[in-house]
A and B are shown apart, each in its own frame.
Chain A
Amino acid sequence: MMDTPDPAGRIDDVLKKIERTRQARRHKFYLRDEKITLSHGSGGKATHNLIEGVFAPAFSNPLLDAMDDAATFSINGTGQRIAFTTDTYVVSPLFFPGGDIGKLAVHGTINDLAMAGAEPLYLSAGFILEEGFPIADLRRIVASMATAASEAGVSIVTGDTKVVQRGKADGLFINTAGVGVLRATWPLGQTQLQPGDKVLLSGPIGDHGIAIMLAREALDIETDVESDTAPLHSLVAAMFAAVGDAVHCLKDPTRGGVATALNEMALGSEVSVALDEHAIPVHAEVRGACEILGLDPLTIANEGKLLAIVAPDKAEIALEAMRAHPLGHEARIIGAVQAEPAGMVFLRTDIGGMRVLDMLVGDPLPRIC
């Protein structure tokens, strides 16, 4: 009851119980649902449950089980390590301020390779087209893909086309797969965070998710917010050139935003991440839209930003390298890694309070990529 002081250790027990449950969920996934709901596509916990409950056990092998954005391996003892990934794009609307589904499909797969520490080389492109889809729109999307690929220095070298009956797909869906050459010769990924490391963010967050939402919903909000979709591999190359193996982890905070990406890292490395809300850049218009819509910019998707975990003694050098690159000129150090309490992300809020920053549960914005 409220009027009696909490018995000593009561809060301690509850916290421990919660963290035990959270940790257990990482290893044991509960797929209770009988049908697919939109939550399973959110990139959040329901998606993880689906992957762990259906795909992972069926396809299990050492490369897949690492559950990284891209698989890395070498072929027949050539010694050259390769990264390989795939992603499917169903964004609605197909055209939005700052980009379109084609540009996104090229950039997204390039970024999956870049975050694995690879230099992207070749992409595939698969199209599912709905009967009645205007060829003019298809031309526009394909031209946009071609431009995005050539600007990024990658080639689309194979492809496939299928057409389904009207009503069986929403205009068009695109799948891209990509291969690249691994440049990171050191352990890189979400299990590599070490206490003391700094958290770097390449620029303002939330642009993509908010641009899509405002384009889709007939909201009476006028803004110039554009998707930030961009290929991040040259930014990664600049960071590698500057500090090399001081980069411990790279992640592009897409679905679920910065909050989800950092929680995955904290859980993956069993460390804690502490952020300073004041240090996190957000465009004023994105902040305003988030206020009106009741959303948190930290959980909104980005398509052209990266989070980097860098050893403390090299963090400033990495930051300078990022700022010298057009895609990182607004980069900031936004937080730091510490040992305890493992698996949790904290935020020093704008008014100076401290709170937990959790993963996004239940996506408010389906079909953003």
Chain B
Amino acid sequence: MSMKYVDEYRDPELAKRIASEIGKLSAGQPLKLMEVCGGHTHTIYKHGIEDVLPRNIDLIHGPGCPVCVLPMGRIDDAIAIARMDGVIFTTFGDMMRVPGSKGSLLDAKADGADVRFVYSPLDAYKLARQHPDRQVVFFAIGFETTAPSTAVTLLRAKAEGTRNFSVFCNHVTIIPAMKAILDSPDLRLDGFIGAGHVSMVIGMRPYNFVARQHHKPVVIAGFEPLDIMQSIYMIVKQLHEGRAEVENQYSRVVRPEGNVKALEAMARTMELRPFFEWRGLGFITHSALKLRPEFADWDAELRYEVPGLRVADPKACQCGEVLKGVIKPWECKVFGTACTPETPIGTCMVSPEGACAAYYSYGRFSMASERSRLNILPMTNVKS
């Protein structure tokens, strides 16, 4: 893989110009735009995009952080599997610290469970091949972005007849969650920034209902700061011209039809669950994937007894309202005091893609600048 790097997507002069165009087109009208994807939330905070945008543009952080929407009961199930004899439990790094009802995977690891973090399901599969005497379980989470690599790994496990590998499947799908948000009476949105990586797989067509039935613009966006700025400009332009369409800002990666091979691999290995619980959003029909019966031998949910209990969120936690955009993270009662990145109560404070963690780590400045009391030194004296 080459390591070329693109600074053209981070040009401060261009950012300023786009921001001023957004300001002109929106003419001070308050607009609420939701970025569905946690990757976008992270970019927005990491680069201080809210600080560059005109003040009338309000970005609402949606449910697209897979770590954040996973209910506590599923984490308890994962920990139960991880604690079983002979199991090597593999997971993406940011799942390690997510609290279940009785501790996190990191705590289970300290307690003796063999929990390892991996970068892909294929890494977990390689572990299974290296340790034929152990059962390797992969904690599969994520949207259509990560589901194809789980699917490909399952196909390989079946083809190679590897019996000591299984998947604890928690893959979710983005469209039903967007439907749930659009149907929610709590919130009035003016448009969506569509998830770039998910769209690379599913294409543009699944978003049509947002434009046609709900009359809201959707612009699929890339992950560089100027991608997001440009997509906001495109949404504001649609609103200005009275249009509601699905547009593709990320055309250098996203094809209108999506990735047919990836969708095929998913269809061969997984099927829709009748319903699935989303943290904060409740049960949403047809919103998650499970393994097909042909892959029962690789399905950790069938192979292991798990508690399978629904666990209520801690009372103080308002992750649900944050995920729906009903409240800003800092409006949660425990934000920044009882709930911080080092002592998270809710999932939104754990993942760097979570709205609360992003707000806590990066966003306190935008809160501070809103009160206009900060007197930051001019930076010209440090440029060189």
Q: Interface of A with B (CB < 8 Å)?
A: 1-3, 11-12, 14-15, 17-18, 21, 30, 32-33, 35-39, 44-46, 198, 217-223, 274-276, 278-279, 284-285, 287-289, 291-292, 294, 296, 332-336, 338, 340-341, 344, 346-358, 361-362, 364
Q: Bound complex: CA of A296 vs CA of B335, how far in Å?
A: 24
Query: Is B370 within 8 A of A355, CB to CB?
Result: no
Q: How many Å from the CB of B12 to the closest CB on chain A?
A: 4
Q: Bound complex: CA of A361 vs CA of B361, how far in Å?
A: 10
On chain A, the residues within 8 Å of B7 by CB distance are: 350
Query: Is A348 within 8 A of B379, CB to CB?
Result: yes
Contact with A along B81-94 (1 / 0, CB 8 A): 00000000000010
On chain A, the residues within 8 Å of B93 by CB distance are: 364
On chain A, the residues within 8 Å of B325 by CB distance are: 2
Determine whether B47 belongs to the interface, using a CB cutoff of 8 Å to chain A: yes
Query: Is B3 within 8 A of A14, CB to CB?
Result: no
Check A346/B49 contact, CB under 8 A, given A288-B5, A333-B384: no
Q: Please count how many residues in chain B sit with their CB below 8 Å of the partner chain's CB atoms.
A: 71
Check A351/B5 contact, CB under 8 A, given A1-B327, A21-B336, A332-B384: no
On chain B, the residues within 8 Å of A275 by CB distance are: 382
Check A15/B371 contact, CB under 8 A, given A45-B342, A362-B97, A364-B93: yes
Q: How many Å from the CB of A288 to the closest CB on chain B?
A: 4
Q: How many Å from the CB of A217 to the closest CB on chain B?
A: 7
Q: Bound complex: CA of A354 vs CA of B384, how far in Å?
A: 19
Query: Is A18 within 8 A of B336, CB to CB?
Result: yes
Query: Is B343 within 8 A of A30, CB to CB?
Result: yes
Query: Is A289 within 8 A of B3, CB to CB?
Result: yes
On chain A, the residues within 8 Å of B377 by CB distance are: 274, 336, 338
Among B3, B51, B383, point to the contact of A355 (Cβ < 8 A). B51
Query: Is A358 within 8 A of B51, CB to CB?
Result: no
Among B48, B187, B368, point to the contact of A15 (Cβ < 8 A). B368
Q: How many Å from the CB of B224 to the closest CB on chain A?
A: 9
Q: How many Å from the CB of A244 to the closest CB on chain B?
A: 23
Determine whether B214 belongs to the interface, using a CB cutoff of 8 Å to chain A: no
Query: Is B376 within 8 A of A354, CB to CB?
Result: yes
On chain B, the residues within 8 Å of A361 by CB distance are: 341-342
Q: How many Å from the CB of A76 to the closest CB on chain B?
A: 43
Query: Is B11 within 8 A of A351, CB to CB?
Result: yes
Q: How many Å from the CB of A96 to the closest CB on chain B?
A: 18
How many A-B residue pairs lie within 8 Å, measured between CB atoms? 174
Check A11/B367 contact, CB under 8 A, given A222-B1, A274-B376: yes
Query: Is A351 within 8 A of B119, CB to CB?
Result: no
Q: Bound complex: CA of A364 vs CA of B326, how far in Å?
A: 32
Q: Bound complex: CA of A117 vs CA of B52, how far in Å?
A: 41
Q: Bound complex: CA of A251 vs CA of B375, how far in Å?
A: 26
On chain B, the residues within 8 Å of A218 by CB distance are: 123
Among A30, A278, A287, A294, point to the contact of B352 (Cβ < 8 A). A294
Select from chain B the residue with minimum beta-carbon distance to A259: B361
Among A11, A284, A291, A352, point to the contact of B371 (Cβ < 8 A). A11
Q: Bound complex: CA of A46 vs CA of B343, how far in Å?
A: 10
Query: Is A17 within 8 A of B376, CB to CB?
Result: no
Q: Bound complex: CA of A287 vs CA of B10, how far in Å?
A: 13
Q: How many Å from the CB of B363 to the closest CB on chain A?
A: 7
Query: Is B47 within 8 A of A350, CB to CB?
Result: yes
User: What would 7 A/B residue contacts be, using CB atoms closer than 8 Å?
Assistant: A2-B60, A18-B337, A35-B110, A38-B106, A219-B119, A353-B49, A354-B51
Check A351/B365 contact, CB under 8 A, given A2-B327, A35-B111, A221-B1: no
On chain B, the residues within 8 Å of A46 by CB distance are: 342
Q: Bound complex: CA of A285 vs CA of B2, how far in Å?
A: 9
Q: Bound complex: CA of A35 vs CA of B107, how far in Å?
A: 8
Query: Is B46 within 8 A of A274, CB to CB?
Result: no
Q: How many Å from the CB of A35 to the closest CB on chain B?
A: 4
Query: Is B46 within 8 A of A349, CB to CB?
Result: yes
Find residues 97-123 in chain B having any chain A CB closer than 8 Å to their own CB. 97, 106-107, 109-111, 119, 123
Select from chain A the residue with minimum beta-carbon distance to B42: A294
On chain B, the residues within 8 Å of A350 by CB distance are: 7, 10, 12, 47, 225
Q: How many Å from the CB of A68 to the closest CB on chain B?
A: 23
Select from chain A the residue with minimum beta-carbon distance to B328: A2
- Which 3 pairs of residues, A with B, have the shortest CB-CB distance? A353-B48, A288-B3, A18-B336
Determine whether B250 belongs to the interface, using a CB cutoff of 8 Å to chain A: no
Q: Bound complex: CA of A358 vs CA of B382, how far in Å?
A: 21
Find residues 222-237 in chain B having any chain A CB closer than 8 Å to their own CB. 225-226, 229
Find residues 128-153 in chain B having any chain A CB closer than 8 Å to their own CB. none
Query: Is B5 within 8 A of A284, CB to CB?
Result: yes
On chain A, the residues within 8 Å of B46 by CB distance are: 296, 349, 355
Q: Bound complex: CA of A17 vs CA of B7, how far in Å?
A: 38
Check A351/B48 contact, CB under 8 A, given A287-B5, A335-B382: yes
Which of A11, A220, A340, A352 has the most B CB atoms < 10 Å from its CB?
Answer: A352
Query: Is B48 within 8 A of A354, CB to CB?
Result: yes
